[in-house]
Amino acid sequence: MTIPFYVAPEQLVRDKAEFARKGIARGRSIVGVDYSGGVLLLGENPSTALHKISEVYDRIAFAGVGKYNEFETLRKAGIRQADLMGYLYSRDDVTAMGLATAFAQTLGMIFTRDPKPFEVEVLIAEISEDGDEHRLFRISYDGTLYDERNFVAIGGKAEQLTEALEELWHEGMSLEEAFTAGVESFRRVEGRESEGWEAAVLDDSNGRRAFRRLDVDQFTEV
Amino acid sequence: MGPLPLDVPVPGASFSDLLEIVGASPVFSIPEGATAPSAPEGTTVLALRYPNGVVIAGDRRVTEGNLVAHRRIRKVFPADHYSAIAIAGTAGLAIDMVKLFQVELEHYEKIEGIRLSLEGKASFLARLVRNQLPLAFQGLVVVPLFAGYDERLEFGRVYSFDVVGGRYEEIDFGSTGSGSRLARSYLRTAYEDDLTGDDAARLAVQALVSASQEDTATGGPDLRRGIFPNVVRIDSDGVEELPDNVIAPIAESALETIR
C-alpha cells in the first residue's frame, strides 16, 4: 500500500495560486472604464469570432480573461443563473452584486475543491436604472471579490493597467474619451500597437438591454 | 443567489430545457375525467404582411363566458428585436407562454451570441404550444400567432398555429381567436399586395373593428375609456409598438365608417 505524500495546506494553496496566475498571465487583459452614461469594456482580441465580453442581463455585462473554455463555462452559467432568477421572480431582482457573489462562490469552491483551479479572472459590470450609478466587480481565480470604482482591469497586466488608468481617467468622460484612455493604457503597458480590439458598452441610451458591442474601427479612425 | 448552475447538463442554449432540469417548469397532473374551471379567454388577434415588413395587432378584451373579464389586457407582445407574438385562448396560460418565449429567445441570443432564425423561433413556439396539449383536452387552449422580419431573407413573415402545435406559414395574413374568421373575411376583401406600413396598420385596426361588430368577445375601440387595439409593426429597423396617439385616429375613423 502506498502512503500519499503529505502536502501542507499552505503549500497546496500557494502552488494552486501560482499555477492559476501563470495561466492567466498567458492571456490578454481587459479593462472596464466608467464614463458619463455608461461603462466601457475593452480588451485586446485579434479574433472577431471568440468573444471575451458578453451581455449577461438587461444592465449587466461580463468579461473574462484566461483560459477561454473556462471563462466561457462561467459566462454561460452566469447567463443561466440570471435568466432563471429574472424569470422566476422579476427582472429587477437580478443584480450584479448577486451575480458577482455567485461567481465568487463558484470560483472559490473550484479553487479549494478541484485539483486544478480555473485559470480565469472575471469582471462584472452594471449600470443602474437611471444610468448614473455604475458598479464594477472583479473576481479572481480563487473567488476573491473586489468592488472597484471608476475603472478596473483584469488579467496578467491588471496591476500596470490600473496604474496607467489612474493617470488617464477623470470624472465625466465621454465614451470617446473613455475609449481613448483605455487604448492608451494598453499602449503604455504593452509598448506596442494592438492586433485588434474587442469593445462593448453598457449604455443608458440603449433601452432595456443596455449592452451593445462597439464597432471598433469607427472609434480608432477618430 | 447560490453558486452558479455549473454542473447543469443543459444540452443546448434552451431556457425551457434549463427550467425543466432545475425543476421549475410547471407539471400538470390532471385527474381522469376532471373538468377544467372556467378561466378568462383572450380573443381576436391578427397579422398581415406588407412588402417591407409585417403588422401584428389584437383587441384588448378578455372574456369569461358571456362576461367581460378584462377590458384593457395586452395580447400582442414584442418577442425580440425582430419578432412579435400575439395570443388567443386561456389568458393566464397564454401570457405565461409569451413570457417564456421572450426569455427563451433572449437566452439563446446571449448564450450563442447570435439570434435564432425566424423559422427557428416559430418552430420553438410550436413546441411550446404542443407542450400544452394535455391542458387543451381540458378545454384550456392557447393558440398564438407569430410574426417577424426575417433578417436573412429580408421580408416579413406570419405564422399561425393550431391547438396541437401545428405551424402554418401564411402568405398574406393570419388570425386566431373568436373573431378571427370575421377579421379574416374583412382582410380577404381589403388586402392589397402593395401596402405601406401605415396602410397595413390601418387595415389591421379596421379588421379588428369589423370583427368587434359581430363577435361579442372581441372588444372594439373604447373611446370613452381611451382603450385602443395594440398594434406592433416590424420591418428591417426592428420591432415598433405603435402608440395610442397613432392608433386612436385610425380607430375613430374606422368606427365612423363601419355599418
CA atoms of B42 and B59, how far apart (whole Å):
9
CA distance B186 to chain A (A): 37
CA atoms of B129 and B145, how far apart (whole Å):
11
Sheet holding A197-203, edge to edge: A151-154, A30-35, A38-44, A197-203, A211-213
Q: Do A78 and B10 touch (CB under 8 A)?
A: no
Question: How many folded domains does chain A comprise?
Answer: 1
In order of start, what are the domains of chain B with their CATH numbers? 41-257 (3.60.20.10)
**CB-based contact (8 Å) between A87 and chain B?**
yes
Evaluate whether residue A8 is within a structural domain: no
Note the pLDDT of residue A131: 67
Under 8 Å between Cβ of B15 and B32 = no
Evaluate whether residue A181 is within a structural domain: yes
Tell me: the pLDDT tens digits for A36-58? Answer: 989 999 999 988 889 999 999 99
Note the pLDDT of residue B23: 85
Q: Do A77 and B6 touch (CB under 8 A)?
A: yes
Task: Enumerate chain B positions whose Cβ falls within 8 A of a Cβ in A.
Answer: 1-6, 8, 10, 15, 18-19, 22, 24, 99-100, 103, 106-107, 110-111, 113
Complex ipTM, two decimals?
Answer: 0.92
| Tens digit of pLDDT at every position of chain B (259 positions) | 677 877 766 657 889 989 988 888 877 777 777 777 788 888 899 999 999 999 999 999 999 988 999 999 999 999 999 999 999 999 999 999 999 999 999 999 999 999 999 999 999 999 999 999 988 888 889 999 999 999 999 999 999 999 999 999 999 999 999 999 999 999 999 999 999 999 999 999 999 999 999 999 999 999 999 999 999 999 999 999 999 999 999 999 999 988 8
How many CA atoms does the CB half-sphere of B188 hold within 13 Å?
8
How many CA atoms does the CB half-sphere of A79 hold within 13 Å?
28
CA atoms of B167 and B129, how far apart (whole Å):
10
**CB-based contact (8 Å) between A47 and chain B?**
no
Could you confirm whether B176 is annotated as catalytic?
A: no
**CB-based contact (8 Å) between A99 and chain B?**
yes
Neighbours of A132 (CB within 10 A): 10
Nearest Cβ partner for A88 among B24, B106, B113: B24
A76 lies in which domain range?
16-219
The catalytic position among B35, B43, B90, B196 is B43
For residue A59, the domain's CATH number is: 3.60.20.10
Tell me the angle at which helices A175-190 and A158-168 cross, rounded to the nearest 10 degrees.
130
